[in-house]
Amino acid sequence: MRRINYYWRLAATGGAFATLFFGGGVLAVTLLPVLSLLPGRRCQRAQRVVHGLFRLYIWMLRHLGLLDMETEGLEKLALSGGRLVVANHPSLLDVVMLMAAIPKAQCIVKHELWDHRFLGPLVRRAGYIRNDLDPEALVATCREALDQGNSLIIFPEGTRTTPGTRPQLRRGFANLATLTGASIQLVVITCDPPTLIKGEPWWRIPMHKPHFRLVVAEVLDANSYLRYQYRSLAARKLVQFVESYFAEKLGYV
């Protein structure tokens, strides 16, 4: 039965990936162009469509038996408009789970995803923010998104974490927080056994169904760090705090 279950999950995982990538491409050239003809904010409408479809996608993964998911404080994410949602990044599914939980979510995406053959059109129509903008344009675009009541999802590690490795955070999120004054909603994500990690192909699934746990933790006031004389020092202190927080919650201290 274990072997049957494994091969079922392998086949279903392949189908789920095809649904995500090809489905995203089909959506971008069918439904979203039609919705863009309606009056109002086209990007926000596209983001809500993505939110609803990602909720359905996570429901599908759970009911196909591909993963279990436990949450704590998830309702806080629905009220996190105008905040930076800062999370650790153990798996490829992290962003899908967060976007499924946040009605008005914005993302900073890698330029490779912006130009992706299948998902690129969806990313562009939803108005997500590419990470290779010049610094001033990036900050201005993020500030505008926050002012519109969007939650801005950021993985400060910059890439998925290697299992067993203490999180090492980049300073970009702290610079953005201290420049915009946005609050930071911390989210801790764990996955046991690890799956869809960096450098691992989708078909290398674990022998047992992975269990995800998503804990929506405390909110940080970035302005409280501006008591330091220099903003660069404030950003450094903020990075140190969040890095230590994740390390403690993930059992590295």
How many structural domains compose the chain?
Answer: 1
Radius of gyration for the chain, computed over Cα atoms and rounded to the nearest angstrom = 18
How many Å apart are CA 87 and CA 189, to the nearest integer?
Answer: 7
How many Å apart are CA 113 and CA 136, to the nearest integer?
Answer: 21
How many Å apart are CA 90 and CA 165, to the nearest integer?
Answer: 10
In the predicted structure, residue 34 carries a pLDDT above the cut 70: no
| Of 44 and 41, the one with more pLDDT | 44
Q: What is the pLDDT of residues 195-242, one digit of tens each?
A: 999 889 989 999 999 999 999 988 999 888 888 888 899 999 999 999
The model carries a pTM of 0.91
Mean pLDDT of 72-78: 90
Tell me the two tokens of residue 80.
């996190």
Q: How far is CA 246 from the centre of its chain?
A: 16
Residue 19 belongs to domain spanning: 2-249
| Cβ pair 105, 99 in contact under 8 A | yes
95-109 core/surface letters (b: 16 or more CB in 10 A; e: else): bbbbbbbbbbbbbbb
Query: Is residue 214 within a helix (H) or strand (E), and if so which, with residue range?
Result: strand 211-220
Residue 101 sits in a domain whose CATH number is 3.40.1130
Q: What is the pLDDT of residues 94-148, one digit of tens each?
A: 999 999 999 888 888 888 888 877 777 777 777 889 888 998 999 999 999 999 8
pLDDT in the model for residue 124: 79
